[in-house]
Amino acid sequence: MSSSGYRRATKNHAVRVDHTDGSVTTGFIPVPQGMDLFGTMMQAQHFIHFETDDGEQTLMNVSSIKRVTSTESKVDKSAAEASAAEKARAEREAEEARRRAEEEARRKAARDGKVEWTGEQYDALEMLGLKASASKDEISAAYRKLVKLYHPDRLRGLGVSPKKIEFAAERLAEINNAYRVLVSSAKAA
């Protein structure tokens, strides 16, 4: 492939060029992929490709350049700071919205006679086979149903094996404990 038909992938890097005669030019220097601005400037021997702000493509004599300052990092930095500030603001707003929603849910639960559950209470709800939105009446109904199902005296009357009765007694103790946890939480609320 001839060199005239090959174009290397580049990214325009925003710069400010201070010239030896005191003039200043702003524009873009194309930087090949995988290189940085410093490397591109170090490879330039006599001329460097330059694009002015108004889009004019030109070659700049390296000997006429006093200093090249990247303006891109400043733009990126201010954009990153603005983005970080926007992200922090969005997080604060989301947290405030979450708090308001939780408070509204607590108020609604109090109006409906439902309790807000936390910690071990979720385990107790699971033990009784209930959802977090369970009311006091639903808790009592689930408890009575499980007591009838696992009560050892009832199982003895049905002729169930002693091992199964022992298992049912352990399960009933867990059910009673879960019910106590939920009832005490409901009374506190």
pLDDT digits (tens, 9 = 90+) for 147-174: 998 898 888 888 889 999 899 899 999 9
pLDDT averaged over every residue in the chain: 81
Residue 118 to residue 109: CA distance in whole angstroms: 14
pLDDT at residue 172 in the model: 92
Q: Which long-range contacts (CB under 8 A, 24 or more apart) does 53-61 make?
A: 53/26, 53/27, 60/17, 60/25
56-99 confidence digits (pLDDT tens): 888 889 888 999 888 876 555 556 666 777 888 888 898 888 88
Q: Which residue has the higher pLDDT, 114 or 155?
A: 155
- Architecture of domain 10-73 in CATH? Roll (2.30)
- Delimit the domains of the chain by residue range: 10-73, 120-188
SS3 102: helix
Length of the chain: 189
11-40: average pLDDT: 88
110-138: average pLDDT: 74
CB atoms within 10 A of CB 185: 19
Q: Is residue 33 a contact partner of residue 11, using CB atoms and an 8 Å limit?
A: yes
Q: Is residue 135 a contact partner of residue 117, using CB atoms and an 8 Å limit?
A: no
pLDDT at residue 17 in the model: 92
Q: Is residue 175 a contact partner of residue 147, using CB atoms and an 8 Å limit?
A: yes
The residue type found at 1 is: M
113-125: average pLDDT: 67
pLDDT at residue 18 in the model: 94
Distances (CA, A) of 9 to 53, 60, 85: 20, 20, 33
Beta strand extents in the chain (DSSP E only): 10-19, 24-32, 47-52, 57-61, 65-70
CATH fold of 120-188, please? Helix Hairpins (1.10.287)
pLDDT at residue 1 in the model: 43
115-121: average pLDDT: 64
Residue 20 to residue 67: CA distance in whole angstroms: 8
Q: Is residue 24 a contact partner of residue 16, using CB atoms and an 8 Å limit?
A: yes
Which residues does 110 contact at the CB level (< 8 Å), separation at least 6?
Answer: 189
